Structure 1
Amino acid sequence: MVDESYRTATVQGREVPYDPEQMRKVNEHPCYSEKACHAFGRCHLPVAPKCNIQCNYCIRDFDCVNESRPGVTSKVLTPEEGLDLVRKVVKDYPFVKVIGIAGPGEPLANPETFEALRLVHEEFPHLIMCLSTNGLMLPESIEELAKYNVGNITVTLNAVDPAIGEKIYSWVEYNGKKYHGREAAELLLS
């Protein structure tokens, strides 16, 4: 007799606990599933204007009608405006299943991110919530993100070597202090 109380799934050759809710999130998230890309949509809420790092390649002061990547926006929304947008999108486009926050700055460096997540989660708990972050403030934010059911988090990692990172980042700001050069890269990678 097989014990059905503990199922596993094979992911990249490893056995992991099977979680049907997480599988639903993966299967309905257009960023993580090729099939979902053609069946489901996502809506990004540009509620996070401030950034706690400055990447040498990043320019957030303009947008373009042909630019639709996270981090680029024509207007930063308040959390309330973000909720209004979600209401409209879900009503007009019921195939949208994912609400994401990816900027235009660093979501975790903006209290508006958490307010937007709270508002959307309270009204639309069935939607998949996701977030893109540079990861600097992730350890101290993870419990609050879990409270709002943010189940998909993307961490941008531009370097694994501080010698390369110091060439990519002009500065990193953490706990009110600005770091430069190798020290900045080491902090971000720690």
Structure 2
Amino acid sequence: MAEEEYRTARVGDQDVPYDPEQLRKIQEHPCYSENACHTFGRCHLPVAPDCNIQCNYCVRDFDCVNESRPGVTSKVIRPEESLELVQKVIDEFPFVKVIGIAGPGEPLANEETFETLKLIHEAFPHLIMCISTNGLMLPERIDELQQYGVGNVTVTLNAVDPAIGEKIYSFVNYHGKHYTGREAAELLLKNQLEGIRMAVERKMFVKVNCVYIPGVNDEHIPEIARTVGEMGAYSFNLIPLIPQYKFRDITPPTPAEKREMQDRCAPYIKQMRHCARCRSDAIGRLGHDVQSRIYGTEIVTKKKK
């Protein structure tokens, strides 16, 4: 490709050249571009029910069709169902350009994720493929993600200090072993940072999600932003805590406190300020979901365990 066809994207403190196809993964992705969120949409495929860690703010045992938060879906679909679903979505809503897998569990801990990615990538190679992960298995599965065209990776990273991380995670299950406490936090952090490094090295666009937990990681958040910004992550999404499970008694940050924290992190990395805290089955533009029209009467009020 001729040199003049390349443009640059700001990654960390450097301008990195990307070809037009790579830049499209920003310009048509509603989570990576604030302008794109008004024009383009995404379709989340809820094919990954199992999770390999337990966050102290996460509850996935129930679903209300009017509830919008990560980890929630009205049903889990099979990989082969995803082909029909995606075809239906892009026929009815051609503004949908991104296909993502974000749960309701941990995508990389479910083989159904990779079956789905393969099917969708082969059938719809023009669509942008996106994954959201806790990062535990990212280093060992990243080559498969690249093989199936995944160019956008979101990693939820809530601490870069294991002493803080052990307050956030109850346990980590990894290769048949159950980890708790500091050991769990150290293992998770090691793999998260290595996965981010490997993704950036492969010129994937990395967005880091960070849950803002007052009294737990709040004063540590700028250090998280600095760390991932220096590694070359593309953007940083600060998500206010939803009080539930072990953190149900923590008062979440106010919108003003969230903006102040984003401003503190902004010198290190681009801030995503338009997050809609999407469900695992979200379809449509951010804040304008249409999954009820797609699933119709198939939507149920209880998710099978």
TM-score (norm: length of structure 1): 0.94
Distance, in Å, in 2 between the alignment partners of 1:29 and 1:180 is 36
Q: Secondary structure at the match of 2:119?
A: helix
CA contact (8 A) 2:48 2:106 kept: yes
1:9 correspondence with 2:8:
yes
Question: Cα gap change, 1:128/1:70 in structure 2, threshold over 3 Å: closer, same or farther?
Answer: farther
Match of 1:163 in 2: 163
Output aligned runs, 1:10-159, within 5 Å.
Answer: 11=10, 13-159=13-159
Tell me, yes or no, if the aligned pair for 1:6 and 1:17 is still in contact at 8 Å.
no
Aligned residues: 188
- The question of whether the paired residues in 1 share the 8 Å contact of 2:59 and 2:71 is answered with no
Q: Does the CA contact (< 8 Å) of 1:133 and 1:154 recur in 2?
A: yes
Task: Give structure 2 stretches of 5+ with no counterpart.
Answer: 191-305
Return the offset for 1:7: 4.3
Mapped contact 2:6–2:20 kept (Cα < 8 A): no
CA distance in 2 between counterparts of 1:133 and 1:30 reads 18
- Find the residue that maps to 1:97 and give its secondary structure: strand
Tell me the secondary structure at the aligned position of residue 77 of structure 2.
Answer: coil
Label 1:44 to 1:178 Cα distance change in 2 as closer, same or farther (>3 A).
Answer: same
Cα contact 2:47–2:101 (8 A) shared by 1:
yes
Structure possessing the higher relative contact order (Cα contacts under 8 Å, 6 or more residues apart): 2
Contact 1:43 1:100 in 2 (8 A): yes
Identity among equivalent positions (%) equals: 76
Taking the aligned partners of 1:7 and 1:84, their CA distance within structure 2 comes to: 36
Residue segments in structure 1 that go unaligned for 5+ positions in a row: none
Q: CA RMSD in A?
A: 1.6
1:63-104 CA-to-partner distances (Å, cap 9, x unmatched) read 222223442101111111122211110111111000000000
Counterpart contact for 1:130–1:151, Cα < 8 Å? yes
- What's the TM-score once normalised by structure 2's chain length? 0.59
Output aligned runs, 1:171-182, within 5 Å: 171-182=171-182
Aligned mates of 1:13, 1:169 — CA distance in 2: 31
Question: Is the CA contact 1:46–1:71 (under 8 Å) kept in the aligned structure 2?
Answer: no
Amino acid at match of 1:42: R
In the aligned structure 2, how far is the partner of 1:110 from the partner of 1:74?
18
